Amino acid sequence: MTGFTPAPPAAGCRNAPVLKERGQREVFCGLTGIIWLHRKMQDAFFLVVGSRTCAHLLQSAAGVMIFAEPRFGTAILEEKDLAGLADANAELDREVDRLLARRPDIKQLFLVGSCPSEVIKLDLHRAAERLTERHAPHVRVMNYSGSGIETTFTEGEDACLATMVPTLPATDERQLLMVGALPDVVEDQALSLLAEMGVAPVRCLPAHRAAEAPGVGAHTVVALTQPFLNETAAGLERRGARILPAPFPFGEEGTTAWLWAVAQEFGVSPETFAKVTDAPRARARKAIAAAAETLGGKSIFFFPDSQLEIPLARFLTRECGMTAVEVGAPFINKQIVGPDLDLLAEGPVIAEGQDVDLQLDRCRAARPDLTVCGLGLANPLESEGMTTKWAIELVFTPVHFYEQAGDLAGLFARPLRRRAILAGLEGAA
Amino acid sequence: MKLTVWTYEGPPHVGAMRVATAMKGLHYVLHAPQGDTYADLLFTMIERRNHRPPVSYTTFQARDLGEDTANLFKTALHDAFDRFKPQAMIVGSSCTAELIQDDPEGMAATMDLGIPVIPLELPSYQRKENFGSDETFYQIVKAIARPMERTAHVSANLIGPVGLGFRHRDDITEVTALLEEMGIAVNVVAPMGATPADIARMGAAHFNVLMYPEHAETAARWMEKNLGQPFTKTVPIGVGATRDFIAEVARIAGVEPKADDARLRMPWYSQSVDSTYLTGKRVFLFGDATHVKAMARVARDEMGFEVVGLGCYNREFARDIRKLASEFGVEALISDDYLEVEKAIEDLAPEMILGTQMERHIGKRLGIPCAVISAPVHVQDFPARYSPQMGWEGANVIFDTLVHPLVMGLEEHLLHMFREDFEFHDEAGASHHGGAAKARAVEAEPETDQEAAAGAAPAEGEIVWLSAAEKELKKIPFFVRGKAKRNTEKFALEKGVHEISVETLYEAKAHYAR
């Protein structure tokens, strides 16, 4: 055991040439981040200023959520707003007043920009300042863009957290800040591992409630739990915080490396570290082994979706015995996913951006055993005899840290197992 | 601006996609920002299509806005033409592209691709999804269909079925069978399954069957005027409407109104004594105008329900629905605001809702059984089994669908007679539905009327239920309790009574006896 950092492959992908493509992109816009953010942040409301398309996207993506009195809505722009017949700011103030009157429990309101609001240059930033004054001290109004022209899928979360960073209180406390909206059960596991090692205090961004918002300052060390938090990381650095470079906590190896980076920073002894992590590491390895029987020796192809692709490709190749053919990501920030690129053995095409028809051509030519793609491509590819894992599930399932390592591998094994089970079923639509 | 949580319809370009995806050999180039491709999964997931919708999106990003987005569109159009080799194309803008005014319509006109390229003007900030499909189909028909010699044998086009349509797949089969029984052939079904070449053959039919006015009425009118084809006005949903439809078709086509209804079981099911308890069940209907109109008739004349309210979300048909409501003696609700619909349902306290996916959730919240009769619907309403709404089998399907959510007759009686049972009580829901049986919560000892009176004095005009009356109210089965409560309060107000006793409750019951 040489420390707790995995030995890298002979050559990693950090310096591999990146295939950069532009063209038709089959991806979500950042508004979809609202679907999980509004569950995480209990006293926040997300008001999209956009068109009927935005409302339609949210309800299509949110499925059943939409009926649970969700904490999001769309202020739909009408003809009169565009024709300049109505003062958009007065309209917005009226809708916000009505909303807050109905929902006195709201403490943070996000005005979320969309493609239409940005194209007509509606200044939501100023609107947020104005509305904050109007509703102080009860509600803080903030603004970020979730538009498709600016953001891709998970970048919506990044934009949301980044807009909160300047509003966080200043603190000189030496602390660990864990950044990224994790499922509650996962967050609790991480906090308990860190507590057992004696790392303290640990704070989370986003917090469950506005009142629990963490402070930030020169003695804050940041551990990112998600690879797509580029703007948020930059904002925290501007506040004096330092970002810990580490692979992302997927799988046994990824989680150990991530925790070890934190442990070293906080002077945790190797003995203590081993005492805390040995048992969960063994559990995770055992759980992964069950799925790895199905995944071993299989090839995998990633269409770009969430920026989780590189860390997941690292996990699947190193811990589950898969071979990556192509790893596509909507955006690649080497400063943040560098440690994962170092561990990903060279070989796969690393692609940034998309021209979906060309990428489909490559995928069909490669005939990978498993294709990770969005819901717009999954059924069409299945009907061509390819096995797919739809990517959105990776953002809606607890997948981080030790206890979920087996579940994470299982997500990829399940479609392959299903295909094997149904092999005798004839007659497709 | 208008605050919206739920929208019954998507934007109009989604309607255009529904037409494009229904057809074959047609490609849609949509000028739209990155992210608007979410609409693909309506077709690949909800409708479970096994191919990508024939739609190319320009997916421009912010960095493109400073550059030449118009050029991006031209490139997308060329690439789509080269890759997919369609027989015809439609082009248009999504809501954001509408703002940047690149004029895809004009650009497409200047590019000579040697196939029809049909521009769509879909005002995203005024109109919605159904307008989009109706307008798109109309533009395609107008551009491609031409007058021609009629088929030697009498034939009809079936128009209106689109992608993501509620039960459109099976309705086509059912209506085709109805026509075949009268010796009428189907010339073209469109948009569903049709190619642009098929659209060009539409003029050969003797008349059109307008299956879904929401999606094809404008095209039907254009064909009537320009191709000399009459179209049917009756939508054959329900037994009576199917018989009327057959009579109407026979009249238009000059054939015998033959109907082989050997497979029709619905009338007997509805007449059998097991259905007696359905009489006068109070239902509220909401959805698209066509389905609401048809189902209101089914509910009243074929199931024996009482229609206590109805409405639609598509304003294009507001006049029809208002007329219908006045025939039924109820208030029409024309709204696309689901909070308004929820409020109407709450006020009317029906025993069943016939609505959309949305009303299913309202019903769940209010504890009212609901059956889905109209889009928007979710994945479970694109079933694997044969399940039309139209024709004879459609009527069979409707009977089962409308009865299923209700508590069965005997169970209803027993609930009424013995309400003290700890596991077999009305909050537990119908026994044949999923969900764990909830044991009855033990009720706290009710306070005496004296204690209640010692509480806050009622405000002027407020009505107080005395505890004995409240207890008596709870003995009324849950599905009519809401109505009984409202009726009693209304009765008390009219009589100037401020305290409701058991007496008042029964006087009101006698007053409103049906």
For the whole model, what pTM was predicted?
0.91
Residues in B touching A64 (Cβ below 8 Å): 361
Chain A residue with Cα closest to B4: A74
Say if the Cβ atoms of A148 and B40 lie within 8 Å: no
Question: Over the stretch A366-416, which tens digit does the pLDDT of each residue have?
Answer: 999 999 999 999 999 999 999 999 998 898 889 999 999 999 999 999 999
From A383's Cα to the closest Cα of chain B, the distance in A is 6
pLDDT at B458 over 80: no
Any chain B CB within 8 A of the CB of A358? no
Residues in A touching B378 (Cβ below 8 Å): 63
Residues in A touching B61 (Cβ below 8 Å): 148-150
From A380's Cα to the closest Cα of chain B, the distance in A is 4
Known catalytic membership, residue B288 = no
Q: Who among B4, B94, B99 is closest to A55 (CB)?
A: B4
What whole-number distance in Å separates Cα of residue B108 and Cα of residue B89?
10
Residues B318-346 have a mean pLDDT of 95
Cis before B116? omega within 30: no
Say if the Cβ atoms of A382 and B14 lie within 8 Å: no
Interface test with B, best of A60, A77, A115 (most B CBs within 10 A): A115
> Tell me, what's the pLDDT at B453?
46
Give the confidence band of A320 by pLDDT, cuts at 50, 70, 90.
very high
B40 annotated ligand-binding residue = no
A204 annotated ligand-binding residue = no
pLDDT at B52 over 60: yes
Got the DSSP string for B383-425? -SS---SBHHHHHHHHHHHHHTTSPPHHHHHHHHH-TT-SSSS
Report the mean per-residue pLDDT for chain B.
90
Question: Over the stretch A166-187, which tens digit does the pLDDT of each residue have?
Answer: 999 999 999 999 999 999 999 9
Residues in B touching A31 (Cβ below 8 Å): 35
From A99's Cα to the closest Cα of chain B, the distance in A is 8
Helix axes A251-265, A270-295, angle to 10 degrees: 160
Residues in A touching B357 (Cβ below 8 Å): none
The two structure tokens encoding residue B480:
């009519």
What whole-number distance in Å separates Cα of residue A40 and Cα of residue A164?
15
* Active-site residue (options: B68, B79, B260, B274): B274
Q: Who among B42, B126, B365 is closest to A60 (CB)?
A: B42
Give the confidence band of B456 by pLDDT, cuts at 50, 70, 90.
very low
At residue B308, the 3 state secondary structure works out as strand
Residues A278-306 have a mean pLDDT of 97
> Tell me, what's the pLDDT at B449?
47
Say if the Cβ atoms of B48 and A379 lie within 8 Å: yes
Any chain B CB within 8 A of the CB of A60? yes
Q: Who among A49, A52, A57 is closest to B38 (CB)?
A: A57
pLDDT at A428 over 60: no
CA-closest candidate to residue B219, choices B170, B281, B161: B161
> Tell me, what's the pLDDT at A4?
87
Q: How many residues does chain B have?
A: 514
Give the confidence band of B343 by pLDDT, cuts at 50, 70, 90.
very high
pLDDT at B454 over 50: no
Question: What's the Cα-to-Cα distance from B437 to each of A123, A313, B426, rounded to whole Å?
Answer: 53, 46, 11
B36 annotated ligand-binding residue = yes
pLDDT at B90 over 90: yes
Region of residue B152 (left: phi > 0; alpha: psi -120 to 50; beta: else): alpha
At residue B123, the 3 state secondary structure works out as coil
Residues in B touching A24 (Cβ below 8 Å): 37, 56-59, 76
What whole-number distance in Å separates Cα of residue A26 and Cα of residue A13?
25
Say if the Cβ atoms of A70 and B50 lie within 8 Å: no
Residues in A touching B36 (Cβ below 8 Å): 29, 53, 148
Say if the Cβ atoms of B94 and A147 lie within 8 Å: no
Residues in B touching A63 (Cβ below 8 Å): 378
* Contact by Cβ (8 Å): B66, A33: no
Chain B residue with Cα closest to A354: B59
Chain B residue with Cα closest to A150: B62
| A27 vs B442, residue with greater confidence | A27
Residues in B touching A53 (Cβ below 8 Å): 10-11, 13-14, 36, 94-96, 124
Q: Determine what percent of chain B is predicted with pLDDT higher than 70.
A: 89
Residues B464-475 have a mean pLDDT of 88
From B234's Cα to the closest Cα of chain A, the distance in A is 31
Give the confidence band of B509 by pLDDT, cuts at 50, 70, 90.
confident
pLDDT at B437 over 60: no
Q: Who among A75, A86, A375 is closest to B45 (CB)?
A: A375
| B419 vs A302, residue with greater confidence | A302
Residues B143-148 have a mean pLDDT of 97
Instruction: Quickly tell me which residue has 């009249």 as its tokens.
Output: B251
Interface of A with B in 281-310 (CB under 8 A): none
Name residues whose C-beta falls within 8 Å of residue B16's C-beta, 6 or more positions apart in sequence.
B28, B30, B90, B92, B120, B122, B132, B133, B135, B136
pLDDT at B428 over 80: no
From B61's Cα to the closest Cα of chain A, the distance in A is 4
Q: Who among A52, A60, A86 is closest to B38 (CB)?
A: A60
Q: Who among A51, A70, A98 is closest to B95 (CB)?
A: A51
* Contact by Cβ (8 Å): A256, A280: no
Q: Which residues of B406-415 are buried (b: 16+ CB within 10 A; e: fewer)?
A: bbeeeebeeb
Residues B288-298 have a mean pLDDT of 98
Give the confidence band of B312 by pLDDT, cuts at 50, 70, 90.
very high
Any chain B CB within 8 A of the CB of A20? no
Chain A residue with Cα closest to B47: A379
From A69's Cα to the closest Cα of chain B, the distance in A is 9
Q: Who among B34, B51, B96 is closest to A383 (CB)?
A: B51
Residues A126-137 have a mean pLDDT of 94
Q: Who among A73, A94, A116 is closest to B96 (CB)?
A: A116
Any chain B CB within 8 A of the CB of A116? yes
pLDDT at A65 over 70: no
CA-closest candidate to residue A238, choices A293, A168, A178: A168
How many contacts does A have with B, using Cβ atoms within 8 A?
A: 183
Residues B422-431 have a mean pLDDT of 61
Question: Over the stretch A339-367, which tens digit does the pLDDT of each residue have?
Answer: 999 999 999 999 999 999 999 999 999 99
* Contact by Cβ (8 Å): B177, B388: no
Residues in A touching B2 (Cβ below 8 Å): 75-76, 78, 95
From B355's Cα to the closest Cα of chain A, the distance in A is 15
> Tell me, what's the pLDDT at A61?
78
From A277's Cα to the closest Cα of chain B, the distance in A is 40
Say if the Cβ atoms of B3 and A75 lie within 8 Å: yes
Three-state SS string across chain A, please? CCCCCCCCCCCCCCCCCEEEECCCCCCCEHHHHHHHHHHHCCCEEEEEEECHHHHHHHHHHHHHHHHCCCCEEEEECCHHHHCCCCCHHHHHHHHHHHHHHHCCCCCEEEEEECHHHHHCCCCHHHHHHHHHHHHCCCCEEEEEECCCCCCECCHHHHHHHHHHHHHCCECCCCEEEEECCCCHHHHHHHHHHHHHHCCCCEEEECCCCHHHCCCECCCEEEEECCCCCHHHHHHHHHCCCEECCCCCCCHHHHHHHHHHHHHHHCCCCHHHHHHHHHHHHHHHHHHHHHHHHHHCCCEEEECCCCCCHHHHHHHHHHHCCCEEEEEEECCCCHHHHHHHHHHCCCCCEEEEECCHHHHHHHHHHHCCCEEEECHHHHHHHHHCCCCEEEHHHHCCCCCCCHHHHHHHHHHHHHHHHHHHHCCCCCCCC
CB atoms within 10 A of CB B476: 18
Residues B329-354 have a mean pLDDT of 94
φ, ψ dihedrals at B440, nearest 5°: -65, 135
